[in-house]
Amino acid sequence: MSIHCCDYQAPMGPIIAAAEDDAIIGLWFDGQKYFPTGTERWVRAPSHPALVQLRAWLDGYFRGESHAFPGRISPKGTAFRQNVWQALRRIPYGSTTTYGAIARELAARRGIASISAQAVGGAVGHNPISLVIPCHRVVGVKGALTGYAGGIEKKEAILRLEGICRASA
């Protein structure tokens, strides 16, 4: 299986997108933390159907018109990370939550006393599909803009786009 990729110019900087089969597997800001290795083997394919759909969605998203991505995604990660990323997808457009709130939600779903907010933060930080899986909507206690692999300035710009105006903390 080949990984297909393309570039996208977002208002806050260049993005690279990746697809495998008919699913998006990655969306990263240029230079962000946890960028995958082995990208030199990826096939540049801007006409790949999943990437065409993603770019159309991104165009609408950055115009404030698109909220939930309609296509198929397939992020690669552990079961714990998958659970965190599913929780991120439940955060409504224009809203935020905290790492602690996600930890409490996941603990309740699993029927256990607690899950570490730091462990949730690690999974949030390793989200491979930025924007589509809205890790930018997770903030620290008291609304602090912390922990965005793409950079705090991008997180703030994305939250402003979604109608949440905050100053960096």
Write out the catalytic residue numbers: 135
Q: Quote the CA–CA distance of 118 and 99 in Å, as a whole number.
A: 8
β-strand pairing of 43-44 with 23-29: unpaired
Amino acid at 42: W
CA distance linking residue 166 with residue 157, whole number of Å:
9
How far is residue 68's CA from residue 49's CA, in Å, rounded to a whole number?
A: 18
- Say if CB 79 and CB 53 are below 8 A apart: no
